[in-house]
Amino acid sequence: MTMTSTVGTDRDRAVSAVRELLLAVGEDANRLGLLRTPERVADLMLDLFSGLGVDPAAALGAPVALTENEHPGELVGLTGIPFRSVCEHHLLPFDGTVDVYYAPSHHIAGLSRIATLVEVAARRPQLQERLGQQIADALMTVLRPHGVAVRIEATHGCVAHIEPRAAAARAVTVATVGEIPDATWRLAVREASAL
């Protein structure tokens, strides 16, 4: 997915910064194998950070209003949404899946919009804990449901590099806002973990 950021970007400056980093660590930035590396890295970073300046809530679009006769159930969920982000502490990738649940009140969102929300929120220097909260807050703001729960499970490049024996470790975070029926939530989490 390509998104347009409202934050001003400067590709030439990013290319120069990558070149300077190579020089700063003692590498020959003019070496044949590195000649185009600054451009490649700058373009990759601009794509990975394309969510900067984009309001994640805007990804949900206009909510779908429910009539008095409609009742979508106690809980709506979209699970296994893949994502990739960049740890703001080490600028290394972390990726995994996001499960999003909400208890509708008067509005619902298109399911693909929820996946887009995850993508927009992830495309910036980020912390896993903050990512889940941003997704939950955006859903609360736009849909005004009874409650939202966001579960993220991810592997982190920084953990793999700093502690190689923990390279396969998966970090799990859960962000909740509002109220979700306990029995329904327990059932949803049990079903998701069984997959």
Indicate if 71 belongs to the active site. no
Annotated catalytic residue, options 126, 128, 133, 134: 128
Average pLDDT over all residues of the chain:
89
Rounded CA-CA distance 105/73 in Å is 10
Annotated catalytic residue, options 87, 119, 126, 133: 87
What is the pLDDT at residue 2?
A: 47
Confidence of residue 67 (pLDDT cuts 50, 70, 90): confident
For the entire predicted model, the pTM comes to: 0.86
Annotated catalytic residue, options 20, 70, 89, 163: 89
Annotated catalytic residue, options 88, 163, 179, 191: 88
**Whether CATH 1.10.286.10 fits 11-48:** yes
Q: What is the mean pLDDT of residues 37-48?
A: 94
Residue spans per domain, the chain: 11-48, 56-194
What is the pLDDT at residue 167?
A: 86
- For the purposes of burial, counting CB atoms within 10 Å of the CB of 95, is it exposed (0-12), middle (13-18) or buried (19 or more)? middle
Confidence of residue 70 (pLDDT cuts 50, 70, 90): confident
Element (H, E) at 152: strand 147-156
Strands 171-178 and 125-126: unpaired
The proportion of the chain whose per-residue pLDDT surpasses 70, expressed as a percent, equals: 89
Fold of the domain spanning 56-194: GTP Cyclohydrolase I, domain 2 (3.30.1130)
Q: What is the mean pLDDT of residues 12-37?
A: 94
Per residue in 163-178, pLDDT (tens digit) is 988 888 999 999 999 9
Per residue in 77-109, pLDDT (tens digit) is 999 999 999 999 999 999 999 999 999 998 999
Rounded CA-CA distance 139/1 in Å is 20
Indicate if 133 belongs to the active site. no
With contact defined as beta carbons under 8 Å apart, do 95 and 152 qualify? no
Rounded CA-CA distance 135/132 in Å is 5
- For the purposes of burial, counting CB atoms within 10 Å of the CB of 26, is it exposed (0-12), middle (13-18) or buried (19 or more)? exposed
φ, ψ (nearest 5 deg) of residue 161: -75, -45
Annotated catalytic residue, options 90, 106, 107, 146: 90
Confidence of residue 6 (pLDDT cuts 50, 70, 90): very low
Q: What is the mean pLDDT of residues 13-36?
A: 94
